[in-house]
Amino acid sequence: MTARNWWARIIGWLPKPLIQSISEQVRDTPEEEAHRRRVVSSVSVVGAGMLGVSLSTPPGSRRFYVLSLSTAVTWTAGSSLSGPLRWGWIQHRDEQLRRPVVVPVATGLGAFAVFYAGALVSRRIPVLRRATSRVLLFADEGDTSLVMLTTVANGVAEELFFRGALYQAFGRRHPVLSSTGAYTLATVATRNPALVLAAGATGALFALQRRASGGIQASTLTHLTWSMLMVRFLPPLFRDDPADSTPTSRRLGTNLR
């Protein structure tokens, strides 16, 4: 095989841009969309409320883990009740459809790099530093295995619901913008500006992946890769200054004790 053929083969394996969607997508009937809308409208309110309550509990407490996993169960149940979901494909430049694996993981790595760089900046901004520290306390002060369990469970559940059931419920009515807005709005219940900003950014990325692939596999792999790296590597950036003997939980307020 010549060098030109090898190069053409490599180019052919590259995915098409996120702004494009696969040529073959199965859509719900109007009746199926109506059923999904009824389910997701109710579950969205319940799930957002549970998310807000779970992040108001003490980090590392049994109540936090129970509520966090219950939130994941709520999103998953809502997606299941709404109807069947699709895994999706990635359309490469050679026009072949393949299950998304490598590209979504690489996208998750890239998203983490962007957020890590943003964290280096946000820790110098008092409002964002306090907001981010509050969230990361749940990773930094909790049991590592349970933290990873809740991270994975909620990552998968959120994709099943927001990029699965809720995205499909919008049909042709601007699903990328609408699902991103709903995802961001759900985090408002946490009253944490850092989470709301993160939800807006990642929600848009995951929704674009959903549109491009026609399913939830790509966004799920990206979400899991990004979230596990965030939980593993971001907390050290916001830990107590060694010169400051006051614990983070004390400096952030009594609601974290």
Q: 193 φ, ψ to 5°? A: -60, -30
Residue 54 lies in a domain: yes
- Domain span at residue 78 reads 28-86+97-256
Of 2, 17, 249, the C-alpha closest to 130 is: 249
Task: Report the run of H or E that residue 168 belongs to, with start and end.
Answer: helix 167-170
Over residues 173-198, the mean pLDDT reads 94
Residue 23 lies in a domain: no
Residue 11 lies in a domain: no
Residue 243's CB is within 10 A of a number of other CB atoms, namely 5
Give strand pairing partners of 48: none
This prediction's pTM: 0.85
Q: How far is CA 26 from CA 22, 29, 53, 244, in A?
A: 10, 10, 37, 57
Structurally, how many domains does the chain consist of? 1
Does position 248 have pLDDT exceeding 70, yes or no? no
Residue 229's CB is within 10 A of a number of other CB atoms, namely 17
Rounded CA-CA distance 79/103 in Å is 25
Does position 232 have pLDDT exceeding 80, yes or no? yes
Does position 247 have pLDDT exceeding 60, yes or no? no
Residue 15 lies in a domain: no
Residue 219 lies in a domain: yes
Report the DSSP pairing between strands 90-91 and 97-98: antiparallel
For 103, what's the count of Cα atoms within 13 Å in the CB-facing half-sphere? Answer: 20
Residue 5 lies in a domain: no
Of 235, 243, 240, 242, the C-alpha closest to 251 is: 240
Confidence category of residue 2, pLDDT binned at 50, 70, 90: low
Q: What is the pLDDT of residue 8?
A: 54
**From 4-18, 100-114, 231-245, the region with the lowest mean pLDDT:** 4-18
Q: How far is CA 94 from CA 14, 53, 151, 203, in A?
A: 8, 48, 36, 28
Residue 39 lies in a domain: yes
Q: 3-state SS string over 204-237?
A: HHHHHHHHHHCCCHHHHHHHHHHHHHHHHHCHHH
Residue 126 lies in a domain: yes
Task: Report the run of H or E that residue 256 belongs to, with start and end.
Answer: none
